[in-house]
A and B are shown apart, each in its own frame.
Chain A
Amino acid sequence: MNDNKHNHNHSGKTLSRRSFLKALGLGTAAAAAPAIVSCATGDEKKGTTQEPPVGKMTYRENPKTHEKVSILGYGMMRLPATNGEPFGRDNDAEIDQEMVNKQIDYAIEHGVNYFDTSPAYSRGLSERATGIALSRHKRDEYFIATKLSNFAPETQTREASIEMFQNSLKELQVDYIDYLLLHSIGGGTGEEAMELFRQRYIYNGILDYLLEQREKGVIRNLGFSYHGEIAVFDYLLANHDKYHWDFVQIELNYLDWRHAKDFSEENTNAEYLYAELDKRAIPAVIMEPLLGGRLASLPTPLARKLLARDPERSPASWAFRYAGSFPRVLTVLSGMTYMEHLKENLCTYSPLEELTDEEKNFLYGIADEIVSYNTIPCNDCKYCMPCPYGIDIPGVLTHYNKCIAEGNLTRDRKDPDYARARKAFLVGYDRSVPRLRQADHCIGCGKCVEHCPQRIDIPKEMQRVNNYVEALKQGIDRGLEA
């Protein structure tokens, strides 16, 4: 798959994206090349370039405000940095504001009007960058979604949380927020999760404060984003009559539809989440439609199946069409770091061709196979970072996943491909993650675990990766098994 993909693109931009792929193990490029080709506006025979069309974007109506929201929402979590990589990989690189501006301009020109950020994203700098870019446009051209991200205990006092909200208005250079979310409710396990929720929003009266702000029109739509403990999700929906949620943000994709539980018992399948929202006619905002790129860079045999079905549609475009094919979906968020990502997604959604039931079933078949590959469900959201002991957690996990996808994970020393796969894994490991930030330096303190929205047992996975690395380095069998 990768050999093919890299033969397609040789422009400067592709290079920088390639280094991004190298670093993160995201494989959207695999998807990008064919998808851009499939974009219908240009005429290959005449030699015109392939550009997404203007004015063809699919919109969904917000039942409360009747405003039209573009089915493609711009996620501002994975911003580009000045070194050509996604921001946050390298402490010295800054957000490439010029590029952010350019991409937002392009998105708005092509009909995108929903922009999703948070005070926590991009080391706390995402709102400012988003504000700078959007303030150059008319306020009625875009909807802003941001969150009350009071995860740290010191931000959970009433004063600190209100200050966080007020600061969002300031950073975004607006006097009202279109969509405000209680950020990632459901952290913690069991009873602890409900208690954590109460600490963040109930005891300090912040939920009441936000409801007041909605009354005043400072918040136009109030909702929450959910990961983790289902009891909190159920509690909030059970109280829908009291709170009148205007929208809810959930993780939905063809893998999580029925397999979220396969990765962690504490996860909830998207099928349930969507059904709960549908029952109450609450619009759904979709996050992780690509699972941080994992559904774009599929293991080669699976990518082949998708491409064999339609050579002009990338694996990523299948995932986006899937997420958009549910009627209650208001918008599908995508963290588009590079212009190529943006263009490809614009092509997919201008307009959206919804999947048939048969096509959905085809994807569920793919999902069943993905599960057997034993990837680590890391979406590179970086919520776990920074690790106090300096480990590059997403760097390690995405490298491991990337090697699975590229067939560079060998389980048997007698495998004729062992030597090549071993070299690819080890050399690639040192390239993606500096030695002092690799899995062997994870001390297992477990501070990251509570931050992971995917409920990955990070210390355990670090040991699994390290055992594998040791097996390769020493040339022994122990540790090669999954």
Chain B
Amino acid sequence: MMVMVTLLFLDVSGVLHHYLAWTARIQFLPALLALNVVVIVALILLTLIFGRIYCSVICPLGIFQDIVSWIHGKRKKNRFTASPEKRWLRYGVLVLFVAAFIAGIHSLVALLAPYSSYGRMVTNLLLPVYQWGNNLLASIAERVDSYAFYGVDVWIKSLPTFLIALATFIIIVVLAWRGGRTYCNTICPVGTILAQLARFSWFKVYFDADKCKSCSLCTKNCKASCIDFKTHQVDYTRCVTCGNCLEKCNFGALHYGHPKAAIHPVKPNDERPVADNTRRAFLVGTAIVGADVALAQAAKKVDGGLAVIEDKKPYQRSTPLTPPGSVSARNFAQHCTACQLCVAKCPNGVLRPSTDPMRLMQPELSFERGACRPECVECSTVCPTGAIKPITVADKSSTMIGHAVWVKDNCVILSDGVNCGNCARHCPAGAIMMVPSNPQDDTSPMVPAVNSAMCIGCGTCEYVCPARPFSAIYVEGHEVHSQI
């Protein structure tokens, strides 16, 4: 499962998501946000029958922690001890999570959502490595005249998101290295919700007190630290039904199934706080802006060479742009868990995580590296949460996500005195027309004018505009998307 989810994020071919998008859709929180009743009911039933098997089999973050913990386990055997439940922390985080969700503090929701954390780690840390590998293959393919591999740009799309992903990765690895499933049982809000169901699960791990020799192997190999071999008790809110204890028990004293006698969960009272360092990453909040290089328009005395292209800077849009299919800024903000799947899938370099504190890590559109192309609906096909609802190419071409605004002072027609009209030439909606800059003089230079009734906000004009660092035409977002 983790491999499939990871491949879904990593794939650069644009093909795999047709086969793997379901792995994201069956994740708990995305399914909940998408109001995917079938998946939610299935997951609830699954947990009521088998316990928190979701955490061991479906959640990629859980499996990732198991791998880290397993590596440590290879070096140091029998390293776990039973520890009491950290109730105030688990429920505290859950309360915080629900409160943030209701209050609309989406960045906090996104920060705590386990699938999204995993998605961010993969897109920010693993994807670049994968892409470099791909680019290496692409350069080899190029040499042997093959078009099998296609090079892609690798860039940090948002520094804060990258740092948060890095911090999450470090915290998860440290916690998993030291204590196995510590994160799942102290922080993860999905884990805490499922824990309440798992309490009552039909199948569970239980002791056969007669066979138990109190050898402690089960406790020492429980990555959830939820088995107390002395009292023969298992904390079902923390057990992720991994089965390690069953395997380790040499005496057949542990069983997985429906216990004949009811067993009550442990009530711990010893609590130890764990620092939540991820919040620190909030404080780091400046976007990375490309080096400012002036356009070297060297006098044309000699032949050849390429003019240096100054990097474009993104506009601070007063209303951020959300992808076609997201219906409205509110729908998008409420549903998006900032897993970065759409960011990873966007083939045009348009989507990147926001740096705005309220929408931190949730994607937005900007057009320095490409435009939201008319034939592409990739993000809407992969989004598991319903933040970007499925949309057809035809629907997209009539969905207004924003409208273009001409910035007279930046326009090269007036500043450089050249003919241009590149925005009008490339507008797929035919919304830009060239008109005389002086309405009284038909021979005056022709400048672009936007017919905003036709404009869908795709950003082609902003992308192909020669003005730098700020384009002379840019797209302002719409709070609510509408149809032409």
Contacts and interface: CB of A to CB of B under 8 A. Distances in A.
Contact of A154 (B143, B299, B416): B299
Interface string A16-58: 0011001000000000000000000000000000000000000
A444 B304 contact: no
A387 interface: yes
B33 to A, nearest CB: 32
A18 B299 CA distance: 33
A132 B49 CA distance: 84
Contact of B466 (A381, A386, A441): A441
A431 B142 CA distance: 8
A406 to B, nearest CB: 9
A388 B297 contact: yes
Contacts of A77: 303
Interface in A354-386: 381-383, 385-386
Nearest to B149: A427
B307 A390 contact: yes
Contact of B422 (A121, A154, A428, A442): A442
A299 interface: no
Contact of A474 (B299, B374, B420): B374
B464 A120 contact: no
A11 to B, nearest CB: 13
A199 interface: no
A18 B305 contact: no
A176 to B, nearest CB: 24
Interface of A: 2-3, 6, 15, 18-19, 22, 77, 87-88, 91, 119-124, 151-152, 154-155, 381-383, 385-390, 392, 423-424, 427-428, 430-431, 435-437, 440-447, 451, 463, 466, 473-475
Contacts of A437: 306, 309
Contacts of A382: 303-305
B483 interface: no
Given A122-B303, A151-B301, A386-B307, 5 more contacts: A18-B145, A385-B305, A390-B295, A390-B307, A445-B416
B375 interface: yes
A173 to B, nearest CB: 20
Interface in B384-428: 412, 416, 418-422, 425-426
Of residues A381, A424, A443, which shows the largest number of chain B Cβ atoms within 10 Å of its Cβ?
Answer: A443
Interface in B424-448: 425-426
B151 A431 contact: yes
Contacts of B304: 87-88, 121-123, 382, 385-386
Contact of B303 (A19, A381, A424, A447): A381
B419 A445 contact: yes
Most buried by B among A2, A155, A427: A427
Sort chain B's interface into a size bin.
Answer: 35 or more
Kindly name the residue among B300, B308, B412 whose own CB sees the greatest number of chain A CB atoms within 10 A: B300
Contact of B301 (A3, A88, A120, A463): A120
Nearest to A388: B297
B464 A445 contact: no
Contact of B298 (A88, A386, A392, A474): A386
7 contacts: A120-B301, A124-B301, A389-B466, A427-B150, A441-B464, A443-B420, A445-B420
Contacts of A435: 369-370
A47 B88 CA distance: 84
A385 B303 contact: yes
Interface in B254-305: 295, 297-305
Contact of A15 (B143, B298, B306): B143
A205 B138 CA distance: 56
A423 B370 CA distance: 19
B464 A124 contact: no
Q: Which 10 A-B pairs have the closest CB atoms?
A: A124-B302, A88-B304, A445-B418, A382-B304, A390-B309, A443-B420, A152-B301, A443-B422, A474-B375, A386-B307
Contacts of B308: 91, 390
B305 A123 contact: yes
Nearest to A22: B142
B306 A444 contact: no
Contacts of B369: 435
Contacts of A428: 147
Contacts of B144: 6
A444 B301 contact: no
A322 B71 CA distance: 71
B373 interface: yes
A387 B304 CA distance: 9
Contact of B305 (A91, A151, A444, A475): A91
B310 to A, nearest CB: 9
A423 to B, nearest CB: 5
A119 B138 CA distance: 38
A386 B309 contact: no
B416 to A, nearest CB: 8
Contact of A443 (B145, B309, B373, B412): B412
A389 B307 CA distance: 7
A78 to B, nearest CB: 10
A19 B142 contact: yes
A223 B203 CA distance: 97
B418 A386 contact: no
B307 to A, nearest CB: 5
Given A451-B300, A473-B373, A443 B305 contact: no
A463 B425 contact: yes
Contacts of A447: 300, 418
A52 B315 CA distance: 61
A423 B138 CA distance: 14
B150 A386 contact: no
Given A447-B418, A474-B374, A440 B464 contact: yes
A385 B297 contact: no
Contacts of A2: 145
A424 to B, nearest CB: 5
Contacts of A91: 305-306, 308
Interface string B305-328: 111110000000000000000000
A409 B145 CA distance: 16
B464 A152 contact: no
A444 B420 CA distance: 6
Interface in B147-196: 147, 150-151
Contact of A120 (B138, B302, B307): B302
Contact of A121 (B303, B306, B464): B303
A441 B465 CA distance: 7
